[in-house]
Chain A
Amino acid sequence: MRSIKDLGTRPAPVSLRDLVAKVVRGQGPAIAVERRQIPYWQERGWRRNGNVYEGSYQTPYAAFQGWIEQEHSGRINFYLYNPSQQIRGHSHWTCFQHRGNDWYLIHMAREPKDVGSGILAIERLITEGYES
C-alpha cells in the first residue's frame, strides 16, 4: 500500500462556497419589483419644463422630434419637426399647420385631456402614415 501525505486543510474558494450555500438554502424568497407608475409622456422619455414638454414621437418606423405646450386654459398644442413624406401623404396632413423652420402645429379635431393621450394619438397617426 502506498503511503499518502496529509497536506492539511484550506478553505474552499469563495465561488464554490457561495454555490454550496445556495444549494443548501434553496432559491430564496422572490423579490417583488415595483412597477413604475409614470405618465405616458414620461415613459416615452419626454422632459417637462413648466408647461412645456420636449421629446420625440416614437414609432417602429421612425421617431420625430416634438414639443408640446400646455396652456393655462388646459388646451394642449402639439408640435412636430420635419415630418416625413409618409406623414405628408396621410389623409390628415391638412391638419399640420406650418409654423416656420420646419415645425408643424398639429390640429386636433378631438382634443386630448392630457399630454400622454395626445402623444399616443400622434404616434398612431405616424404609424398609419407608414402602413398605408
Chain B
Amino acid sequence: MKKLSVVVAGTGQIRDIQIQSGTTAGDVLHQLNLPDYLLSKGPNDPFFAAAESIYDKVEGGEKIFASTKAEVGIRVCAA
C-alpha cells in the first residue's frame, strides 16, 4: 500500500488516498469523482494513461496532480 496526495490543480484541494499494487490512474480519478481530469506527477512528466498502473511509478507520500484535459492543439489552429 502507498499513500498519495492528489492535488486538484484548479482548486488546490488535496485528496489523500491509499493505493494498492495495480491501481490505475483511471481507478484513482473514478474514485475521486474526477472524470474529466488527468493525473500526472507534475508539469515535467507526461500524463498517466487511464489504464496505466501508477503504483510502481509513484513514491509513498508523493504529491501528484489532477488537472483538466488541456492540449495545445493543431485542430483549432487549422480551423
Contacts and interface: CB of A to CB of B under 8 A. Distances in A.
| A and B assemble together | yes
A106 B77 CA distance: 9
Contacts of B11: 37, 39, 114
Interface string B32-58: 000010001011101000000000000
A124 B46 contact: yes
A13 to B, nearest CB: 40
User: Is the interface on chain B under 10, 10 to 19, 20 to 34, or 35 or more residues?
Assistant: 20 to 34
A82 B56 CA distance: 39
B12 A36 contact: yes
26 contacts: A37-B13, A39-B9, A39-B10, A40-B7, A40-B9, A94-B74, A94-B77, A95-B73, A107-B72, A107-B76, A109-B72, A109-B74, A109-B77, A112-B67, A112-B68, A112-B69, A114-B9, A114-B10, A118-B70, A119-B43, A120-B9, A120-B65, A121-B67, A121-B71, A124-B44, A127-B43
A65 interface: no
A95 B68 CA distance: 20
Interface of B: 5, 7, 9-14, 36, 40, 42-44, 46, 65, 67-77
A42 interface: yes
A111 interface: yes
Given A116-B10, A117-B10, A59 B74 contact: no
Contact of A110 (B42, B65, B70): B70
Given A40-B65, A95-B77, A127-B44, A122 B12 contact: no
